[in-house]
């Protein structure tokens, strides 16, 4: 378990400095109820899976796509991170045109 939000953010920041331009970007927000990680996709995934290189999630995680009414299914990625199962959404029903924000609530290792 990370000891602080600063430690998690530091790891994500270091990772993003080495990412290609369309790789997801990350930000965090601390609330009274806990910390939320936001993954921002600048390009809609070409397959049904969006892989995130974030800290390893625990099983009690909730993932939503802002502007989309249903939860997003996910599973642990290879050695670390997670894979989101991206819904098939018709273009005219997309919750955005230039970027999509996945809200991830829960605990990470």
Question: Which one, of 109, 105, 11, lies nearest residue 65 by Cα?
Answer: 105
Strands (E), the chain: 25-31, 34-41, 49-52, 62-65, 73-76, 82-85, 100-105
Residue 48 lies in domain: 5-105
CATH, residue 97: 2.60.40.1180
Single pTM value for the model: 0.73
Q: What is the DSSP letter of 15?
A: H
Number of domains in the chain: 1
Query: Which residue has better confidence, 78 or 87?
Result: 87
Q: What is the pLDDT of residue 1?
A: 43
Q: Under the phi-then-psi rule, with left for phi > 0, alpha for psi from -120 to 50, and beta for the rest, what region is 67?
A: left
Q: How many residues does the chain have?
A: 109
Cα distance between residue 108 and residue 28, in whole Å: 13
Q: What is the pLDDT of residue 9?
A: 52
Tens-place pLDDT, residues 1-48: 444 555 555 555 555 445 555 678 888 888 887 778 899 988 888 888
Cα distance between residue 89 and residue 80, in whole Å: 27
């Amino acid at each position: 378990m990370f000891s602080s939000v600063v430690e998690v953010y530091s790891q994500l920041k270091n990772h993003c400095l080495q990412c290609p331009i369309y790789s997801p970007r990350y930000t965090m927000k601390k609330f009274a109820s806990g910390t939320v990680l936001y993954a921002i996709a600048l390009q809609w995934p070409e397959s049904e899976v969006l892989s995130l290189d974030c800290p390893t999630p625990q099983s009690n995680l909730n993932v939503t796509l802002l502007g989309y009414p249903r939860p997003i299914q996910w599973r642990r990625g290879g050695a670390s991170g997670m894979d989101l199962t991206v819904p098939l959404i018709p273009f005219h029903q997309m919750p955005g045109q230039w970027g999509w924000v996945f809200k991830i609530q829960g605990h990470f290792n």
